[in-house]
Amino acid sequence: MWWSGEATDTGKSPSCLSRGQQQQQQEQEQQEQQQEQQRQ
């Protein structure tokens, strides 16, 4: 999860802000999918 570290530095460069948010959303989706697999 190296992108989670970049998300904390989004305040320094606005160009990375949108990219960081998109990566965070993808991370959340992946975690949800992993949880569903563990339940099965």
Question: What's the pLDDT score for residue 6?
Answer: 54
Torsion of CA 28, 30, 31, 34, to 10 degrees: 160
Domain annotation covers residue 7: no
- The predicted-structure confidence for 1-40, as pLDDT tens digits, reads as follows 444 555 555 555 555 556 666 666 778 888 888 888 887 6
Tokens 């965070």 belong to 24
Domain annotation covers residue 1: no
**Which residue blocks in the chain are alpha helix, DSSP H?**
3-7, 14-39
User: What is the span of the domain harbouring residue 19?
Assistant: 13-39
Domain annotation covers residue 6: no
Distance CA 11, CA 39 (A): 37
Predicted model pTM: 0.38
Question: What's the pLDDT score for residue 1?
Answer: 42
- What tokens does 20 get? 């960081």
- What tokens does 23 get? 């990566």
